[in-house]
Amino acid sequence: MGWAISGSSVAATARDDPPSFFLKPAPFRYARPRFLADALELLGAGEHDVKLLAGGQSLVPMLNLRLLRPTVLVDLNGVPGLDHIAPLPGGGLTLGALVRHADLAQSPLVRERTPLLAEAARHIGHPAIRHRGTLGGSLAHADPAAELPAALLVLGAELILEGPRGSRTVAADRFFQGLLATALGPDEILTAVRVPAHGRGWGFGEVVRRSGDFAMAGVAVVIDRHAPAGSCDSARIVGFGVSDRPMRFADSERALLDSDGGDAAARAGAAVTCDPPADVHASAAYRRHLATVITEDTVRQALARLSA
């Protein structure tokens, strides 16, 4: 039996046993809370395995393949107030966890204040995925090849987590902790993200086998310059698809900041240090090579925008 929970009513739905190769999820109870407090109560109800459904673009395939077998599925799409895009005083944005990828890519406010984030969202999957997938879902899933975790890391964003003990804020560089692992507690919900505005010096690029695939390697760059003559006084360079989480290319940042002439972008690319995984799509050496090439290219993008 499976259970559908709607408000205070509970209805049972019969299920046929799935075929042996699993194209349907194992039985679970389904809840669609109307308020955030109700969702948090379901998380803290003592069930062994509760999963949150936002866009479902990663969760549903994992359910169908039975890589996940939750006892309860909590659908957040009925909770109001989680899909806002609002300006912050002095620049930047606050973004609700249920903001769709397509809205990030198309919102005039996002494109004005954080164009790198809009560009990153534009690279995600296909139109159907972008219209259903959510910011919070991507961040909580924490796929190391995903675009949005890298974008938030390079932008120095803060993530707001709600739990039974109240709200807490976690910086992006402490939120992503490993392969599909985050600082999000089992009884917490990611509700919003605060993203600082960034200047004109930014770049974003990735290499994929086919349009819509996860990146074999990608890089996001934000740089700033107050001094003349080409020197940068701040730089953040983040690679994705080259580690078990998005990672800062610290050596490339130092090479860019220490550059006193010559080809700063080439120096930043040559300084990339990473130890990427190998799989059926690309060898570790090829991913490392891609990281150096994309870093050089994205730094050139950022410098060109900064000088425009």
pLDDT in tens, the chain (308 residues): 232 333 322 333 334 444 455 678 999 999 999 999 999 999 988 766 899 999 999 999 999 999 999 999 999 999 999 999 999 998 999 999 999 999 999 999 999 999 999 999 999 999 999 999 999 999 999 999 999 999 999 999 999 999 999 999 999 999 999 999 999 999 999 999 999 999 899 999 999 999 889 999 999 999 987 655 556 788 999 999 999 999 999 999 999 998 776 799 999 999 999 999 999 999 999 999 999 999 999 999 999 999 88
Strand order in the sheet with 201-207: 201-207, 217-224, 234-240, 247-248
Contact 150, 120 (CB under 8 A): yes
Residue 212: count other Cβ atoms within 10 Å of its Cβ. 14
**Nearest by Cα to 224 from 214, 216, 234, 215:** 234
Tokens representing residue 122 in the block: 């534009």
The CATH number assigned to the domain with range 201-307 reads: 3.30.390.50
Q: Looking at residue 261, what is its pLDDT? A: 65
**Nearest by Cα to 306 from 255, 265, 250, 276:** 265
Sign of CA dihedral 151, 153, 158, 164: positive
Query: CATH number for the 2-77 domain, one of 2.40.50.140, 3.40.50.150, 3.40.50.300, 3.30.43.10?
Result: 3.30.43.10
Contact 284, 278 (CB under 8 A): yes
CA dihedral 241, 116, 121, 96 (to 10 degrees): 110
Q: Looking at residue 3, what is its pLDDT? A: 28
- CATH fold of 85-195 reads 3.30.465
Distance of CA 66 to the CA centre of its chain: 23
Q: Looking at residue 2, what is its pLDDT? A: 30
Tokens representing residue 210 in the block: 């086919």
Between the CA of residue 35 and those of 41, 80, 165, what are the distances in Å?
10, 7, 17
Indicate whether this model's pTM tops 0.85.
yes
Measured between alpha carbons, how far is 236 from 231 in angstroms, rounded to an integer?
14
Q: Looking at residue 228, what is its pLDDT? A: 54
- The residue extents of the domains of the chain are 2-77, 85-195, 201-307
Q: Looking at residue 290, what is its pLDDT? A: 98
As a three-state string, the secondary structure of the chain is CEEEEECCEEEEECCCCCCCCCCCCCCCEEECCCCHHHHHHHHCCCCCCEEEECCCCCHHHHHHCCCCCCCEEEEHHHCCCCCCEEECCCCCEEEECCCEHHHHHHCHHHHHHCHHHHHHHHCCCCHHHHHHCEHHHHHHHCCCCCHHHHHHHHHCCEEEEEECCEEEEEEHHHHEEECCEECCCCCCEEEEEEECCCCCEEEEEEECCCCCCCCCEEEEEEEECCCCCCCCCEEEEEEECCCCCCEECHHHHHHHHHCCCCCHHHHHHHCCCCCCCCCCCCCHHHHHHHHHHHHHHHHHHHHHHHHC
